[in-house]
Amino acid sequence: MSARLSVRQYQWRVLAAMVVYVLVMVLAWPLVRETASLPLKVALALLPVLPMLYVIALMAQRVLRSDELEQRTHLVALGVATLVTGTLSLIGGFLAIARVLPLDGSTLIFVFPLLMTSYGLARGWVVRRYGGDALCEDDGMPLHRRFFLTAALIAAIGLYAWWRDKAFALGVCVGIAAVFALSAVALMLRRARRGDGAAR
């Protein structure tokens, strides 16, 4: 059994996996529609799943090697995230079958990000309920820095979309990158204000 990863090690490994994911999406994913060979098409289509499976394995390792209270916060958050994602998927499915919403199979790509977003928000709520700080940054990379890195990765995808003349994808990426960059600035200001308050 390997040693437990520190928060910093975990964050850097997740960041590395996300960089690999972005590179795969930028370099390999566009080749999927142009490839005639079915086995190669399947391999290219599933290639982005590999870094995500690595992140899921890292998350599982982190939860399994944490203390009971931390495990409880993770599992309650996962339960809430599953409930939110399942409910929204069920609603979307019924509305699509009734032809109220024009959804196709490509909508499935958003299920995992919805699950992870719900999980992150729910875990922050659960940690606060147990008296912790949802934005605690004692051991790992500061949250504002993680948000800036996320904004940079999404901006890189946006630049690629601009280069490939994909206006809609560029707009989406610029919007998401701006949200992360503004969130990072807000977190930096919050952190600076807390530092000033602690100094007084």
For residue range 131-159, what is the model confidence (pLDDT) as tens digits?
876 555 455 666 667 777 777 777 776 77
pLDDT of residue 108: 77
Among 63-67, 86-90, 123-127, 171-175, name the most confident range.
86-90
Task: Report the predicted TM-score, pTM, of the whole model to 2 decimal places.
Answer: 0.66
Q: Is residue 102 assigned to a domain?
A: no
What kind and span of H or E run contains 160?
helix 143-163
Q: CA-CA distance, 170 to 111, in Å (whole number)? A: 21
Which long-range contacts (C-beta less than 8 Å, at least 24 apart) are formed by 52-56? Answer: 52/17, 52/21, 52/112, 54/13, 54/17, 55/14, 55/17, 55/18
In a domain, 147, yes or no: yes
Q: Identity (one letter) of the amino acid at 111?
A: V
Whether pLDDT at 66 is above 80: yes
Instruction: Please state, for a pLDDT cut of 90, what percent of the chain lies above it.
Output: 12
On whether residue 40 sits in a domain, the answer given is: no
Mean pLDDT of the chain: 79
Is 50 exceeded by the pLDDT of residue 198?
no
Which pLDDT does position 76 carry in this prediction? 92
Backbone phi, psi, residue 7, to 5°: -60, -40
Q: Considering the domain boundaries, does residue 164 fall inside one?
A: yes
* Domain-located, residue 96: no
Least confident of 6-20, 25-39, 132-146, 149-163: 132-146
Longest dimension (CA), the chain: 67
In the predicted model, is pLDDT for residue 180 greater than 50? yes
User: Cα–Cα distance between 22 and 63 in angstroms, integer?
Assistant: 25
46 lies in some domain:
no
In this prediction, residue 199 has a pLDDT band, given cuts at 50, 70 and 90, of very low
pLDDT in tens, 37-56: 999 999 998 998 999 899 89
What pLDDT shows up at residue 200? 42
Over residues 8-32, the mean pLDDT reads 81
* Mean pLDDT calculated for residue range 73-91: 91
User: What is the number of domains present in the chain?
Assistant: 1
In a domain, 197, yes or no: yes
Q: Is residue 4 part of a domain?
A: no
Containing domain of residue 195, as a range?
A: 142-200
